[in-house]
Structure 1
Amino acid sequence: MEIRNKVAVITGGASGMGRQIAELLVAQGAKVAIFDLNDAAGTALEASLGESLMFAKVDVTDEASVQAGVDKTIARFSAIHICVNCAGIATGSKTVGRDGAFPLELWNKTIAINLTGTFNVLRLCAVEMVKNEPVNDDGARGVIINTASIAAYEGQIGQAAYSASKGGIVGMTLPIARDLAPKGIRVNTIVPGLVDTPMFESLPKEVYEGLSKTVLFPQRLARPAEIAELARFIIESDYLNGECIRMDGGVRMQPK
């Protein structure tokens, strides 16, 4: 699918990978709606990118909130062709730790934001994609890109909830691609490794360098811009569907 003149919804679009993808798509001629809870960052990005980008304060776990964001996008840009789900949280707790059992509240929150939130947004965006006229000879109407993590495959100690949430995203990729194939909508998942986001930048230098050395090659963390380029490749590659693509420098996570 050609990016120019298309409309994209990006969750978690006010920072990190989501912001990089938003900026890249705007640069390629798309209109972008970012769904995020960070008012300050979202408003600042909206101001910096002008008429091509709008910010909607959206809680991905809340159906009414997401629907309001979708409605706002349609009112502003008239369609949705691309949905990129980057919103998520990283959590950690052992199944049984010093304070007892894994807090069920933390489990539920992790699953709600990372997994249910992803599905909540993509299903409502897909409703709008179905309304689109085909944009190419294949009958394409939309592209959905979800974001998982290599923790889906190699979860570390304390990552039961996080790994389950990301594993769920991997697991639902093909069934949703099959569901939406008759509608002309492709579904793929990016599976990042260690990405140089603000979360990692706050780590002590020795920890940051230690993580970099675990990567096979190149021995560094991924740049958010590299994830954005993969998102662009997926959007533009009409025959790529139902896939989960690792982008991790060859790293395989150890237990801890």
Structure 2
Amino acid sequence: MSAPSPSTPRILTTSSLSIPPPTTPKQWHNYLTVDLIIAVLNRSIFHPFIAWIVVLCLRAQATPYTHPAFIIASGYATFLTVLDIAFMISDRIAFGASREVDLSEEVVVITGGASGLGRLVAQIYGLRGVSVAVLDIANPEDVTGWGDVVGGVEYYQCDIGNREEVESVAVRIVEDLGTPTVLVNSAATQINAQPILSLSAEAFQRTIRTNLIAVLHTCQVFLPHMLSTENGGTIVNVSSVLAQLCAAGLADYSASKAGLSALHRTLEVELRVSGNGDKVKTILVEPGQISTPLFKFIKTPNSFFAPVLEPIHVAQEIVSMVDKGNSGVIRLPTFAKLANFYAVLPVGLQWIGRYLSGIDRAVPQTLDQMNQTVQSTPGTKRE
């Protein structure tokens, strides 16, 4: 490969960087986020149980029923209770009844389970003695750290973008572990972090192949197995909030995740109209930035409103919903839950929100900082 001319600026990508970006210790205020505040409120003044305790305390003080304090407290408690019940009814209408989950009979298939979020989900189930099949493209000798897992976790090297490999591995899983009942699609390719004019068609196709087409393969191969079992199964698709917000520099990633979210919703509808909605549950995960190798080099644009998620928290949410046998949508942190409302705002407010959040500056600024770090570090390799 010929060296670039001195007059040509060198654009670095994540794949061409051989050193990690510098990190600084977190200060106490970095842990103060809008999610922490809302979590405290939801467990205190926004919780129906706490609200009714206030009502009981007023009655213990012999507060008359006609007293304004008692009327306001009981009205507020009633409002929270009705709201809670309304959400439960809404979920039941939307997602139907829960399926029966027996962990001793479940066989969990996890794509991209050699690292990141998928690895954590596999370890949680493995430690609980559940049969787990981990599918990943990594070489088996490079996959370590499973010594503390006591369950039946089996690793299968597989390129899930290749339909024939997925079908072949499915046969082996049935022979080794039994009929697959839970599918967690968490595999994702390394992001390119390039503007559209610099993004090659090959890189774009590679992202679509891994993040979207591979999910089609796994759903088509493993769904018939779930339908053949008495208790059905659960399909978990890990998308991203970027499927709706579409940040600058992440065109291929956002496009693939938007397609994945659409594919998931279509699958959910088709299961419902076919009468299998109660048998096979579907869970869509649309998180913000997770602290995994995939996005670890990108600095969050706003740590207060958009904190970086620890993967264990997302893994716990996924496992909890699967164990309950429910369908649903998991959106973390709080701003991800509001992404649907963003689309109905006037376009002027949308652009103001994007500017204040810094979402479109995160990738370019991070790459600029990484370029400066490489240029100032002696002996750093570049491709």
TM range (shorter): 0.7 to 0.9
1:169, CA displacement in angstroms? Answer: 1.2
Q: Is the 8 A contact 1:156 1:254 kept in 2?
A: yes
Residues 1:214 and 2:303 aligned together: yes
Q: Distance in 1 between matches of 2:172 and 2:142?
A: 15
Q: Distance in 2 between matches of 1:212 and 1:8?
A: 35
Q: Is the 8 A contact 2:291 2:309 kept in 1?
A: yes
Q: What is the match of residue 49 of structure 1?
A: 149
> Which runs of 5 or more structure 1 residues have no equivalent in the other structure?
135-140
Q: Distance in 2 between matches of 1:213 and 1:40?
A: 38
Structure 1 residues 215, 39: closer, same or farther in 2, change over 3 A? farther
User: 3-state SS of the aligned residue for 1:78?
Assistant: coil
1:224 to 307, 311, 329: 311
Q: Distance in 2 between matches of 1:35 and 1:143?
A: 17
Structure whose CA Rg is larger: 2
Q: What is the match of residue 91 of structure 1?
A: 192
Q: What is the match of residue 107 of structure 1?
A: 204
Q: Distance in 1 between matches of 2:218 and 2:139?
A: 19
Q: Spell out, residue by residue over 1:41-99, the C-alpha distance to the aligned partner (whole angstroms, 9 max, x if none).
A: 674355553551000001011011111221111111111110000101223322224xx
1:178, CA displacement in angstroms? Answer: 2.3
Amino acid at match of 1:28: R
User: 3-state SS of the aligned residue for 1:156?
Assistant: coil
Amino acid at match of 1:214: S
Structure 1 residues 55, 47: closer, same or farther in 2, change over 3 A? farther
Written as runs of structure 1 = structure 2, the 5 A alignment for 1:23-172 is 23-40=123-140, 43-45=143-145, 48-50=148-150, 52-89=152-189, 90-97=191-198, 102-134=199-231, 141-172=232-263
Amino acid at match of 1:221: V
Structure 1 residues 186, 235: closer, same or farther in 2, change over 3 A? same
Structure 1 residues 63, 153: closer, same or farther in 2, change over 3 A? same
1:20 to 82, 106, 120: 120
User: 3-state SS of the aligned residue for 2:123?
Assistant: helix
Q: Distance in 1 between matches of 2:151 and 2:317?
A: 25
Q: Distance in 2 between matches of 1:179 and 1:104?
A: 32
Residues 1:7 and 2:107 aligned together: yes
Q: Distance in 2 between matches of 1:50 and 1:67?
A: 27
Q: What is the match of residue 331 of structure 2?
A: 246
1:179 to 265, 270, 292: 270
Q: Is the 8 A contact 1:170 1:189 kept in 2?
A: yes
Cα RMSD over matched residues? 2.2
Q: Spell out, residue by residue over 1:229-248, the C-alpha distance to the aligned partner (whole angstroms, 9 max, x if none).
A: 1111221333x43x432112
Q: What is the match of residue 49 of structure 2?
A: none
Tell me how many residue pairs correspond in the alignment.
Answer: 236
Q: Distance in 1 between matches of 2:164 and 2:209?
A: 15
Q: Distance in 1 between matches of 2:164 and 2:330?
A: 31
Amino acid at match of 1:178: V
1:165, CA displacement in angstroms? Answer: 0.4
Q: Spell out, residue by residue over 1:97-124, the C-alpha distance to the aligned partner (whole angstroms, 9 max, x if none).
A: 4xxxx32111111111100111211221
Q: What is the match of residue 53 of structure 2?
A: none
1:249, CA displacement in angstroms? Answer: 4.3
Q: Is the 8 A contact 2:301 2:359 kept in 1?
A: no
Q: Distance in 2 between matches of 1:77 and 1:40?
A: 18
User: 3-state SS of the aligned residue for 2:282?
Assistant: strand
TM-score under structure 1 length normalisation: 0.83
Q: What is the match of residue 189 of structure 1?
A: 284
Structure 1 residues 158, 27: closer, same or farther in 2, change over 3 A? same
User: 3-state SS of the aligned residue for 2:335?
Assistant: coil
Structure 1 residues 83, 41: closer, same or farther in 2, change over 3 A? farther
Q: Distance in 2 between matches of 1:42 and 1:33?
A: 17
Q: What is the match of residue 137 of structure 1?
A: none
Q: Distance in 2 between matches of 1:59 and 1:24?
A: 24
TM-score under structure 2 length normalisation: 0.57
